[in-house]
Structure 1
Amino acid sequence: MRIPVLVNSDGVQEWAMIELQGKISPYDNDFGDKTFGPLNIDGESATLTIGNHYLKGKVHRLKKPLCVMRRGSESGIQIVSVIRKKVIFSDRPIILFPDIPI
C-alpha cells in the first residue's frame, strides 16, 4: 500500500524541539492555549522565561532531521514541519524574583 506524502501549500515550516529538565505544571492543570514565555535564540545560545524562572540553554543541530506529519485523509499524510534544531535547557533555572509573603 502506498501512502502519498503531501506538502503544505505554503511549503514546509521549520520548527525547533525544546528539551527541559524537570516538570512544567500549570496552576489549573490545563495547558490549553497557554504560552510558556518568551524564547530567544541567538546563534548557539537560547533563553526562556517561564513565570519567574529564567533558563539558559544551548542550540544543537540534530544529526538526522525529524519530520512532523499529520494524517490528512485516508489517501495521504501531510508534512507539517521539519525539525533540524534542538534547544536544550539542562541547567537549573535562575529565580528572577523570590516569592514575597504578604
Structure 2
Amino acid sequence: MVQIVISRDGADGLAEWVLMELQGEIEARCSTGLAGNLLGDLHYTREGVPVLIVGHHILYGKVVHLEKPFAVLTKRGARDHGSPGAAAQYLVTALIKTKLLFKTRPKPIITSVPKKV
C-alpha cells in the first residue's frame, strides 16, 4: 500500500488561484508552445464580468464557483528530505474555488473602418 502524505502550511500562507476555461483551441505563433508566453489581457467590467483580450479578439465570460474546490499540490520527494528511505510528501500550495468560463466565440476588435472613396 502506498501512503501519500498531504499537508498544508497554514491558512495565512495558502494562495487562492482561479481556473480559466476556454472553449476551442489556442495556437502559439512560435513552435515552442504557450508555456511562459503572454496569452492576453484579463479585465473585469464594473458588473464583475470577466473580459479577455487575445490579440485582435475579445471574449466575454462569467465567474463560476466550483462545487468541489481543487487543491494545487507540490511534491516533496525523498531527495528533498536527504534520506533515501523517506516517502514522497505532498504540500497544498493553493486552492482553486472559482473558474472563469469563456464559452462564446471570440469577437473581432475593429478600431477603425476605412471609408470607401
Normalising by structure 1, we get a TM-score of: 0.81
Correspondent of 2:7 among 5, 9, 32? 5
Q: For the aligned residues, what is the CA RMSD?
A: 2.2
Alignment coverage as a number of residue pairs:
97
Identity %: 28
Distance in 1 (CA, whole Å) between partners of 2:35 and 2:73 is 21
Structure 1 contact 6–76 (Cα < 8 Å) conserved: no
Q: Any runs of at least 4 consecutive aligned residues in structure 1 with deviations exceeding 3 A, and if so which?
A: 41-44
- Structure holding more strand per residue: 1
Structure 2 contact 4–90 (Cα < 8 Å) conserved: no
Equivalent residue of 1:34, what SS?
coil
Distance in 2 (CA, whole Å) between partners of 1:4 and 1:91 is 38
Gaps of 5+ in 1: none
Q: How does 1:1-102 map to 2 (within 5 A)?
A: 1=3, 3-7=5-9, 11-29=13-31, 30-41=33-44, 44-74=48-78, 75-97=88-110
Query: What letter corresponds to residue 5 of structure 1 in structure 2?
Result: S
Larger radius of gyration: 2
Structure 2 contact 72–92 (Cα < 8 Å) conserved: yes
Query: What letter corresponds to residue 71 of structure 1 in structure 2?
Result: K
